[in-house]
Structure 1
Amino acid sequence: MKEKAAAVETRADFARVGAGPAGVMHMQAVPNGQNPEFALKETSPPLAARLRYRGGDKTASTYDLVEQMHYLYVSVVKARDLPVMDVTGSLDPYVEVKLGNYKGVTKQLEKNQNPVWNQIFAFSRDRLQADRVEVNLKDKDTITKDDFVGRVTIELSEVPIRVPPDSPLAPQWYKLGDKKGDKVAGEIMLAVWLGTQADESFPEAWHSDAHNISHADLSNTRSKVYFTPKLYYLRVHVIEAQDLVPFDKGRAPETYVKVQLGNQVRITMMSKDRDLNPRWNEELMFVASEPLEDSIMVTVEDRVGPGKDEILGRVFIPLREVQPRTSDHHQSARFPDPRWFNLHDPSEALETETQKKKEKFSSKIYLRLCVDAVYHVLDESTHFSSDMQPSLKHLRKPSIGILELGILSAQNLLPMKGKNGGTTDAYCVAKYGNKWIRTRTLLDTLAPRWNEQYTWDVHDPCTVITIGVLDNCHVNGSKDEPRRDQRIGKVRIRLSTLETDRVYTHLYPLLVLQPSGLKKHGELHLALRFTCTAWVNMVVQYGKPLLPKMHYVQPISVRHIDWLRHQAMQIVAARLARAEPPLRPEAVEYMLDVDYHMWSLRRGKANFFRIMALLSGLSAVFKWFNDICCWRNPITTCLVHFLFLILVCYPELILPTIFLYLFVIGIWNYRFRPRHPPHMDARLSQAEFANPEELDEEFDPFPSRKPADVVRMRYDRLRSVAGRVQTVVGDLATQGERIQSILSWRDPRTTAIFIIFSLIWAVFIYVTPFQVVAVLVGLYLLRHPRFRSKMPSAPVNFFKRLPSKSDLLI
Structure 2
Amino acid sequence: MHYLYVNVVKARDLPVIDLSGSLDPYVEVKLGNYKGQTKHLEKNQNPVWRQIFAFSKERVQSNLLEVAVKDKVLGKDDFVGKVVFDVMEIPLRVPPDSPLAPQWYRLTDKRGDKKGEIMLAVWMGTQADESFPEAWHSDAHNISHSNLSNTRSKVFFSPKMHYLRVHVIEAQDLVPHDKGRLPDPYVKVAVGNQIRWTKVQQRTIHPVWDDSLMFVASEPFEDYIIISVEDKIGPGKDKILGGAMIPLREVPQRFETGKPPDPRWINLQKPSKAEEEGEKKKEKFSSKILLRFFLEAGYHVLDESTHFSSDLQPSSKHLRKSSIGILELGILSARNLLPMKMREGKMTDAYCVAKYGNKWVRTRTLLDTLTPRWNEQYTWEVHDPCTVITIAVFDNAHTNGSKDDARDQKIGKVRVRLSTLEIDRVYTHYYPLLVLTPSGLRKHGELQLALRFTCTAWVNMVAQYGRPLLPKMHYVNPIPVMHTDWLRHQAMQIVAARLLRAEPPLRREVVEYMLDVDYHMWSLRRSKANFHRIMSVLSWITTVYKWFNDICYWRKPITTCLVHVLFLILVCYPELILPTIFLYLFVIGIWNYRFRPRHPPHMDTWLSQADSAHPDELDEEFDSFPTSRPSDIVRMRYDRLRSVAGRVQTVVGDLASQGERAHAILSWRDPRATAILIILSLIWAVFIYVTPFQVVAVLFGLYWLRHPRFRSKLPSVPVNFFKKLPSKSEMLI
TM-score by length of 1: 0.88
Summarize the alignment of residues 196-275 of structure 1 with structure 2, pairs less than 5 Å apart.
Answer: 196-271=126-201, 273-275=202-204
Q: CA deviation at 1:373?
A: 2.5
Could you say which residue in structure 2 is the equivalent of 1:187?
117
Contact 2:163-2:301 within 8 A present in 1 as well: no
Q: CA deviation at 1:376?
A: 3.4
Q: CA deviation at 1:420?
A: 6.5
Please say if 1:107 is aligned against 2:30.
Answer: no
1:524 to 447, 454, 460: 447
Summarize the alignment of residues 674-685 of structure 1 with structure 2, pairs less than 5 Å apart.
Answer: 674-685=597-608
Please say if 1:292 is aligned against 2:235.
Answer: no
Q: CA deviation at 1:719?
A: 0.5
Cα pair distance change 1:658/1:163, threshold 3 Å: closer
Q: CA deviation at 1:377?
A: 4.8
> SS at the partner of 1:265?
strand
Please say if 1:432 is aligned against 2:362.
Answer: no
Please say if 1:301 is aligned against 2:301.
Answer: no
Counterpart AA for 1:294: D
Could you say which residue in structure 1 is the equivalent of 2:372?
448
> SS at the partner of 1:122?
strand
Could you say which residue in structure 1 is the equivalent of 2:49?
117
Aligned CA RMSD, in angstroms, stands at 1.7
> SS at the partner of 2:222?
coil
Could you say which residue in structure 2 is the equivalent of 1:341?
266
Alpha-carbon distance between aligned partners in 2 of 1:514 and 1:191, rounded to the nearest angstrom:
49
Could you say which residue in structure 1 is the equivalent of 2:463?
540
Summarize the alignment of residues 595-610 of structure 1 with structure 2, pairs less than 5 Å apart.
Answer: 595-610=518-533
2:65 to 129, 133, 157: 133
Counterpart AA for 2:263: P
Counterpart AA for 2:88: S
Could you say which residue in structure 2 is the equivalent of 1:163?
94
Could you say which residue in structure 2 is the equivalent of 1:787?
710
Q: CA deviation at 1:245?
A: 0.7
Contact 2:298-2:471 within 8 A present in 1 as well: no
1:418 to 297, 318, 342: 342
Alpha-carbon distance between aligned partners in 2 of 1:439 and 1:107, rounded to the nearest angstrom:
23
Cα pair distance change 1:685/1:643, threshold 3 Å: same
Alpha-carbon distance between aligned partners in 1 of 2:669 and 2:416, rounded to the nearest angstrom:
53
Alpha-carbon distance between aligned partners in 1 of 2:584 and 2:123, rounded to the nearest angstrom:
65
Q: CA deviation at 1:293?
A: 2.1
Please say if 1:361 is aligned against 2:292.
Answer: no
Q: CA deviation at 1:342?
A: 1.7
Q: CA deviation at 1:697?
A: 1.0
Counterpart AA for 2:37: V
Q: CA deviation at 1:451?
A: 0.7
Q: CA deviation at 1:337?
A: 2.8
Could you say which residue in structure 2 is the equivalent of 1:470?
394
Q: CA deviation at 1:176?
A: 1.9
Contact 1:504-1:529 within 8 A present in 2 as well: yes
Counterpart AA for 1:487: K
Q: CA deviation at 1:548?
A: 2.7
Q: Which moved more, 1:376-385 or 1:300-309?
A: 376-385
> SS at the partner of 1:277?
coil
Alpha-carbon distance between aligned partners in 1 of 2:98 and 2:323, rounded to the nearest angstrom:
31
Gaps of 5+ in 2: 275-279
Could you say which residue in structure 2 is the equivalent of 1:772?
695
Please say if 1:695 is aligned against 2:695.
Answer: no
Please say if 1:393 is aligned against 2:317.
Answer: yes
Q: CA deviation at 1:298?
A: 1.0
> SS at the partner of 2:561?
helix
Moved over 6 A (4+): none
Could you say which residue in structure 2 is the equivalent of 1:57?
none
Cα pair distance change 1:656/1:185, threshold 3 Å: closer
Q: CA deviation at 1:421?
A: 4.0
Could you say which residue in structure 2 is the equivalent of 1:66?
none
Alpha-carbon distance between aligned partners in 1 of 2:24 and 2:180, rounded to the nearest angstrom:
78
User: C-alpha offsets along residues 95-153 of structure 1, whole Å, 9 cap, x if unaligned?
Assistant: 111122111111111111111111111111211122212222121113x4222222222
1:511 to 434, 441, 444: 434
Alpha-carbon distance between aligned partners in 2 of 1:377 and 1:134, rounded to the nearest angstrom:
53
Contact 2:414-2:603 within 8 A present in 1 as well: yes
User: C-alpha offsets along residues 517-559 of structure 1, whole Å, 9 cap, x if unaligned?
Assistant: 1111111011111111111111111001112322211111101
Alpha-carbon distance between aligned partners in 2 of 1:557 and 1:487, rounded to the nearest angstrom:
34
Counterpart AA for 1:166: D
Q: CA deviation at 1:711?
A: 0.4
Counterpart AA for 1:392: S
Q: CA deviation at 1:624?
A: 2.0
Q: CA deviation at 1:456?
A: 0.7
Contact 1:344-1:361 within 8 A present in 2 as well: no
Q: CA deviation at 1:747?
A: 1.6
Alpha-carbon distance between aligned partners in 1 of 2:124 and 2:546, rounded to the nearest angstrom:
70
Could you say which residue in structure 2 is the equivalent of 1:16?
none
Q: CA deviation at 1:338?
A: 2.4
Cα pair distance change 1:585/1:519, threshold 3 Å: same
Cα pair distance change 1:784/1:663, threshold 3 Å: same
Please say if 1:326 is aligned against 2:255.
Answer: yes
Counterpart AA for 2:107: L
> SS at the partner of 2:605?
coil
Contact 1:233-1:374 within 8 A present in 2 as well: no
Could you say which residue in structure 1 is the equivalent of 2:277?
none
Could you say which residue in structure 1 is the equivalent of 2:76?
145
Q: CA deviation at 1:505?
A: 0.6
Q: CA deviation at 1:631?
A: 1.9
Please say if 1:278 is aligned against 2:207.
Answer: yes
TM-score by length of 2: 0.97
Please say if 1:501 is aligned against 2:430.
Answer: no
Gaps of 5+ in 1: 1-68, 350-355
Contact 1:231-1:373 within 8 A present in 2 as well: no
Alpha-carbon distance between aligned partners in 1 of 2:539 and 2:118, rounded to the nearest angstrom:
76
Alpha-carbon distance between aligned partners in 1 of 2:273 and 2:262, rounded to the nearest angstrom:
28
Q: CA deviation at 1:374?
A: 6.3
Please say if 1:558 is aligned against 2:481.
Answer: yes
Q: Which moved more, 1:69-78 or 1:727-736?
A: 69-78
Cα pair distance change 1:166/1:616, threshold 3 Å: closer
> SS at the partner of 1:414?
coil
Counterpart AA for 1:441: T
Counterpart AA for 2:84: T
Could you say which residue in structure 2 is the equivalent of 1:13?
none
Q: CA deviation at 1:357?
A: 7.3
> SS at the partner of 1:507?
strand
Number of equivalent positions:
728
Alpha-carbon distance between aligned partners in 2 of 1:133 and 1:376, rounded to the nearest angstrom:
53
Please say if 1:806 is aligned against 2:732.
Answer: no
Alpha-carbon distance between aligned partners in 1 of 2:652 and 2:447, rounded to the nearest angstrom:
42
Q: Percent identity?
A: 78
Contact 2:109-2:115 within 8 A present in 1 as well: no
Counterpart AA for 2:384: D
Could you say which residue in structure 2 is the equivalent of 1:653?
576
User: C-alpha offsets along residues 138-187 of structure 1, whole Å, 9 cap, x if unaligned?
Assistant: 21113x4222222222222332222322222222222222223x214322
Could you say which residue in structure 1 is the equivalent of 2:589?
666
Q: CA deviation at 1:489?
A: 0.6
Alpha-carbon distance between aligned partners in 2 of 1:667 and 1:136, rounded to the nearest angstrom:
67
Please say if 1:78 is aligned against 2:5.
Answer: no
> SS at the partner of 1:714?
helix
User: C-alpha offsets along residues 779-809 of structure 1, whole Å, 9 cap, x if unaligned?
Assistant: 2222222222222222111111111111121
Could you say which residue in structure 1 is the equivalent of 2:308?
384
Alpha-carbon distance between aligned partners in 2 of 1:648 and 1:164, rounded to the nearest angstrom:
68
Please say if 1:704 is aligned against 2:634.
Answer: no
Q: Which moved more, 1:793-802 or 1:367-376?
A: 367-376
1:575 to 475, 489, 498: 498
